[in-house]
Structures are given as structure tokens and as C-alpha cells.
Amino acid sequence: MTQNSALKRFLQRDRVVRGLTNDGHFRVGAVNLTNTVITAQERHGLSPVAAVFLGRLMAGATLLSSFLKGEERIILEAMGQGPLKRVYAEAVQVGEVRGYVENPQAMLDFSTDTSLGDALGLGLFRVTRILYNQFEPVVGIVELAKGDISTDLAYYLTQSEQVPSAVMLDVSVDDEGKVIKCGGLIVQAMPGAPESEIVTIQDNLRNVTPITDLLGVGYTPEEVLRVVIPGEYRETNHARVDFFCRCSVDRFKSILLSLGAEELTSMRDLGQTELVCQYCNERYDLPADEFEALIEQARARTN
């Protein structure tokens, strides 16, 4: 492999970059999440609109998780009366992200005067942080502001957490509805940042070329940041990101075990021994003898 193609492959990986502007006024983040969202669409068999929303939500979760530490996690959920019903994304700071759409086949009829926000309709946006120094998850809920995820996340951060924020999340799809690119960007004002500057950045974001177009012509997350941020910034961290779910056969066995012998026996009698992970759509089908062993184990526990 030539050095050039190695470099190219490195640049095409899904990566998140975070930084701080040199004047200390803003923390910034950018992500290329293309491969992750293509994987999510394949795993869950997502319709175009479902893929767009899950991709945006995963990009938002990944950006926020990049500001956390170690195994700290963030969960974003958007739920509404529209056809998608509920979209869920969860990201760990170490670069793992997973998620699903409650109605993966959701469609939106653009022949009427439908806007993208109608896919969620009226509803709620919930942010959950699982942090080292907090005994309980930290949860915040707001009404959906626009139902396009970018605006909703910015609204949540600005209103609920009192951190003026600009967010841009984007997924492009081809004529057949397959994901081409997914990218995202976040800018958050640090305490003491002049308000006029955040307004300038918000204006920049409204007028900038879509991130998916920039990624399409080969921009890295670092280069995307340079387009949007006026002035210089220094990178404080960068990490690879993958679609990753921590489910496993052993994890499923322990969940089954917790159901108890009676429930397991009726599952076996109904032939319901296949399990599907909600988060990644992985299928686990326990062989009959292993399922029997599990029932025995559950019985032994209650005796």
C-alpha cells in the first residue's frame, strides 16, 4: 500500500475532533460519521428519512460525548407524534455510538407541503448524561423546537443548560435513499464569551456549505472547523468513532436468566428463543440445549 492511500484511508475514517478557540471564547467539535450511519442504515434496514434522523441524532450524541471523559455516556432521544415515533442514539466518549428508530420504515410524503420536521411532529427531546461524579443519570427534557434535530439540540443546550450553542447536523442520501455522507458540527460559548460572537458564528453556520458537501469533496473534520470558525483554534482531542454495541450472547443470557424459570419455559414452549438487540439489530438464537441449561440455572436460583 502506498503512503498516499494509507493517508486517504485514515482521512476517510469516522472521526470526531474537539477544540478550543485561541481566545478561549468557544469550544468546538466536528465529526465525520459517514461509515457509522451507513452501518446503522444497513443493520436496521432504515428508510431514507429514518436514516437521516438517526444519523443526525448519532452525530449530535457523538459530538457531545467528545466533551466527556472515559466511559461517560450521552443518550439523545427525540420522540413525537410523526411517523418516526422515536429516535434513540447513545455515544460513549471512547468512540462508540449506537442507536435505532422505533419505526425504521417511516416514510414522509414530500409531494404535499410536508417539511422534514413532520417526520417527528410535535414531541419531546430528551438528553441523558451518565457521568462519573453523578450517582444518577442527569436528564433534561424540552419540547421539540423544530423537529430537525440540529435546532432541537441547539435549543436544548441554550435554553435548558444555559450554554449558547450552534449545532449543524447533516446526512445526505442518494436517489435510492442510501446514505452518502453524515457530518456534524457544534460550537458552544464558554463563560464570558461576547454574545455578538455567537451570533456571528450562528450566521456563519446558516450560510456555510452543508457539511456533507464538504466531506464529499474530501474535507476532514479539522478542515470543516476551519471553514466555520473565525480565527484560530487549537485541537484538544480527536478520536475514531465506530458503530459499536456492547451486546453479547453472555449479556443476553443474563437478561434471560433474570426473567425466571417460568417465563423461560413459556418462551421455549412458544419457540421464542431468538433474541434481537434493539440497539444494533444483532440476532441471537440460542441452541435448544443452551436454552434448557438456562432454564435449569433459573430453577436452581429460585430453589
The residues of the shown chain that bind Zn ion, judged by CB under 5 A, are 245, 247, 277, 279-280, 282
Q: What is the smallest separation between the CB atom of 43 and Zn ion, expressed in angstroms?
A: 9
3-state secondary structure of 207: helix
Please give the single-letter amino acid code of residue 240: R
Place of cell 471553514: 227
CA 122 to chain centre: 21
3-state secondary structure of 142: strand
Q: What is the smallest separation between the CB atom of 279 and Zn ion, expressed in angstroms?
A: 4
Q: What is the smallest separation between the CB atom of 251 and Zn ion, expressed in angstroms?
A: 9
Residue with Cβ nearer Zn ion (161 or 242): 242
Residue with Cβ nearer Zn ion (49 or 245): 245
Q: CA-CA distance, 102 to 132, in Å (whole number)?
A: 29
Residue with Cβ nearer Zn ion (57 or 224): 57
* Residues ≥6 apart with Cβ < 8 Å to 265: 295
Q: Among 151, 133, 153, which Cα is nearest to 141's? A: 153
Q: What is the smallest separation between the CB atom of 220 and Zn ion, expressed in angstroms?
A: 29
Residue with Cβ nearer Zn ion (67 or 284): 284
Residue with Cβ nearer Zn ion (228 or 245): 245
Burial class (CB in 10 A: 0-12, 13-18, 19+), 47: buried
Residue with Cβ nearer Zn ion (142 or 247): 247
- 60's grid cell: 449530535
Q: What is the smallest separation between the CB atom of 297 and Zn ion, expressed in angstroms?
A: 23
The H or E element spanning position 30 is: strand 26-32
Q: What is the smallest separation between the CB atom of 246 and Zn ion, expressed in angstroms?
A: 7
* Residues ≥6 apart with Cβ < 8 Å to 85: 79, 101, 102, 103, 106
3-state secondary structure of 231: coil
3-state secondary structure of 287: coil
